Amino acid sequence: MMSKKLIRLLMLLVLLPLYSFADSVLVKNTAPEVYVVKKGDTLWDISNMYLDKPWQWPQLWRTNIHITNPHLIYPGDKLRLAKNQKGEIVLEVVREPLKPLIKLSPEGSKSFKTPEAIAALPWSVIKPYIENEMIMSKEAYDRYPYILGDKEGAVRFATDNLVLGKASRRSKENVNIVRMQNELYDMDGNFIGLQIRHLARAKLMNADVGKQKLIKILQAKLEVKRGDKIIPAVTNELDEILLIAAENQTGYIIHDLEQHNLLGKYNVVVLDIGSDQVSAGTIMGIYSQGPKIIDGKEPKYEGETDINLNAFKKGDEITQPALKIGEVVVFKAFDTASYALITKSAKVIKRGMIVARP
């Protein structure tokens, strides 16, 4: 028997705007004929500068034999609009040979650093979520050891404090201290994971304290408390982001990471679709759908509080169309959910809004 969620999604797919995979590339009238890429630019902003559909970015480079990866452009690149032999508008680049930068260490040794391409998304916004925040199963969270307290009998701890923690069989020297922030549920109320908040970087001290571990808090972003979990430190880096439009994936916005009720551009949201369906760079449209309408003697909204509502249920049930009001780009995918950045919003974004092909 199909779940209510699946039935709803199948209905919504009929309502969403038709998507043509053979869309022609339409360059904005306001697009600059020549643009010099600057430090601090993002690929998303530049794509939006040229296109109403920024996921078509690679198609603008289709005849440029000098660009093997259109997602890698560098400060100093000169972008120029032109027409190819077919009369199609394409983007060309004038690029000086990339010269490695020579960096001198305090000891006087030289190292070579290759210039970095501009970020696909605003790094300053998504960096904290890339490096530290995560979604974890309850079973995994419960297995980790936790903070016990300190010799002062304190209940809150900060940078440079020494605390005692439960030992782990596979202890690593560098650890993170984290806390469950929220339980995540899909729109049908099914549990899908725990949202984990990073609190502090810490280090296991080489001290004989029996079956426990002495831990020094190196840098606390938030107060650490008794019971907070101790997990191995992992260096998380931004996955390669290739901008690509979603095709058949459909889901919902189920939460946000800033604890706001009303969301807009550059807020981060949680989607109820995981790494089996999306990856870093997947672009999805945000759709808002009004309540169902009971078309009876007097039209009523489904769920409208009225003692006589049952009398109107004899009428036809009308499902309103889902209208596009914004876009999100996935930047980190977990097993059961993903983090996405709102990149465009015409209205306030809320929990329960649909995400689908853009």
Q: Model confidence over 239-279: pLDDT tens digits?
A: 567 788 999 999 999 998 776 666 788 889 999 999 999 99
Q: What percent of the chain has pLDDT over 90?
A: 38
- pLDDT attached to residue 295: 77
Mean pLDDT of 55-71: 72
Token digits of residue 262: 């009303």
Give the residue, 65 or 259, on which the prediction is more confident: 259
Query: For the whole model, what pTM was predicted?
Result: 0.77
Give the residue, 42 or 8, on which the prediction is more confident: 42
What is the C-alpha to C-alpha distance for residues 134 and 128, in angstroms, rounded to an integer? 10
Residue 67 has pLDDT above 70, yes or no: no
The segment with the largest mean pLDDT, out of 39-43, 115-119, 168-172, 333-337, is 333-337
* 162-172: pLDDT as tens digits: 999 987 766 67
Residue 291: other Cβ atoms inside 10 A: 12
Show the beta-strand stretches assigned E in 75-190: 78-83, 89-94, 101-104, 110-113, 134-136, 147-149, 156-157, 162-166, 174-185
- pLDDT attached to residue 5: 52
- pLDDT attached to residue 308: 53
Laid out side by side, the sheet with 78-83 consists of: 34-36, 78-83, 89-94
Give the residue, 183 or 302, on which the prediction is more confident: 183
